[in-house]
Amino acid sequence: MKSTHPLRLVRALYHSVAGFTALWRQEQAFRQEIYAAVIMLPVLYFLPIIALAKLVLIFLWWLLLIVETINSSIEAVIDRISLERHPQSKIAKDMGSAAVALALIMNVGAWLYVLIPLFVRP
């Protein structure tokens, strides 16, 4: 079994922080999702729902941020390869955008599923 050198962990942390910094500076959608999380996630504390539902909503928000990060990575690589318009580049960027849209739809759907019964009583 191979041991992990502590310096490797420090380098990995450095690269992760650099990635978060790039996301924050360059990706408006990421910033908007963080702002929404800062508002919405504390609301969970006050909602009269079970802990598992709260956990699922938190995980779905993390998933959205993960998908946004991967989409931004795809876009960065494509732009690095070439800034000229190419049909395959468009397809890759559109697919990444579609993944973000699916994660966002999943989030909105889950929040509505949890919140609507709290405010609409039969």
Catalytic residue ranges: 68
pLDDT tens, N- to C-terminus, the chain (122 residues) = 566 677 888 899 999 999 999 999 999 999 999 999 999 999 999 999 999 999 999 999 999 999 999 999 999 999 998 878 888 999 999 999 999 999 999 999 999 999 999 888 77
Mark 12-29 as b/e (b = at least 16 C-beta within 10 Å).
Answer: eeeeeeeeeeebeeebee
Residue 115, classed as helix, strand or coil, is helix
SS3 state at 111? helix
Distance CA 80, CA 18 (A): 18
Given this structure, which CATH class describes domain 28-119? mainly alpha
